[in-house]
Amino acid sequence: MPTTPPLPSSRTDPDGSAVLRALTYNVRSLKDDTDALARVLTACAPDLVLLQEAPRFFRWRKKIARLAAASGLVMLSGGGTAAGPALLCSLRATVERTQDVLLPLTPGQHRRGFATAVVRFGGAQLGVVSCHLSLHEQERYEQGGLLLDRVAALGTPHVLAGGDLNEPPTGRTFRRLAADLRDCRETAPWGAEETWTRTEPHRRIDALFATKGVEILGCGVPLGHPGVRGCDLRAASDHLPVLAALKVPAAG
């Protein structure tokens, strides 16, 4: 596998702004190789992890906490109380508040939700939202609108949102999000693109978005990133992760 240049490492600049790494990952309820998953997370060295399909039933908190500890992270929010989305963070983060949100339930469909938090890195404040949108087009579109509402309701100058959108960039909901937020991969391509490669066609259905004012230094699937092995990516989940480096300005 070819080597991909590493993204910038995490740091806090003298002006209080922060460079951080964020990763979104559908982990399929930790049904696959959790050791391989922890190795991928450790190699990517994220400050924030947006999970989808985190465990949400029997002993779900313990399972998420175990993954976080194996990856040098801590559990921030979500899991069973957000119907699957969850957030992990590094010890660099100062947590200001968290909130798990359940979305309206469509009869016969899976319950969906958002895991949200407000964190600080140095002088930079950042809202974070992890989501996993519906398989059904109309419900997914409505959930996209609710996601934008949640981003606005966080009340922070900068927000990072992302997850498993269940549709590619040409989809109606993806385009709705990209009209209000910046698609990190589109803004600063890095690494590989497609996040679903188990069946044809390969597609980019997992994404990170940031509000204006956040500088996107690179974003993509970390194939070839130092320490990330293809065998671990194949063993860890049926999705591939999306890793981004961001520079968040200090709060005014």
Query: pTM of whole model > 0.85?
Result: yes
Alpha-carbon distance 23 to 130, whole Å?
10
Which residue, chain included where needed, has tokens 């985190």?
54
pLDDT at 73 over 70: yes
The whole-number pLDDT of residue 2 equals 58
E strand or H helix at 150: helix 137-153
The whole-number pLDDT of residue 42 equals 98
The domain segmentation of the chain, as residue ranges, is 15-248
3, exposed or middle or buried, with CB in 10 Å at 0-12, 13-18, 19+?
A: exposed
Confidence of residue 161 (pLDDT cuts 50, 70, 90): very high
* Mean per-residue pLDDT, 97-114: 94
User: Residues of the chain with pLDDT > 70: what percent?
Assistant: 99
pLDDT in tens, 127-145: 999 999 999 999 999 999 9
**Nearest one of 72, 79, 84, 57 to 21, comparing CA atoms:** 72
The whole-number pLDDT of residue 21 equals 98
Q: What angle do CA 250, 207, 9 make, to 5 degrees?
A: 45
CB within 8 A of 100, min separation 6: which ones? 77, 78, 81, 82, 113, 114, 115, 116
Phi, psi of 38 (to 5 degrees): -65, -35
Determine the 3-state secondary structure of 66 from DSSP.
Answer: helix
pLDDT in tens, 3-44: 688 899 999 999 999 999 999 999 999 999 999 999 999 999
Alpha-carbon distance 94 to 232, whole Å?
30
**Contact (CB, 8 A) for 5 and 225:** no
* Mean per-residue pLDDT, 195-208: 96
* Mean per-residue pLDDT, 98-107: 94
Confidence of residue 147 (pLDDT cuts 50, 70, 90): very high
Largest CA distance in the chain: 52
E strand or H helix at 77: strand 74-78
Alpha-carbon distance 47 to 89, whole Å?
5
pLDDT in tens, 218-232: 999 999 999 999 999
**Contact (CB, 8 A) for 132 and 205:** no
The whole-number pLDDT of residue 107 equals 87
Tell me the two tokens of residue 129.
Answer: 């939202």
* Mean per-residue pLDDT, 200-217: 97
Confidence of residue 108 (pLDDT cuts 50, 70, 90): confident
Alpha-carbon distance 224 to 180, whole Å?
31
For 15-248, the fitting CATH number among 3.40.50.620, 3.40.50.300, 3.60.10.10, 3.40.1280.10 is: 3.60.10.10
Mean pLDDT across the chain, nearest whole number? Answer: 96
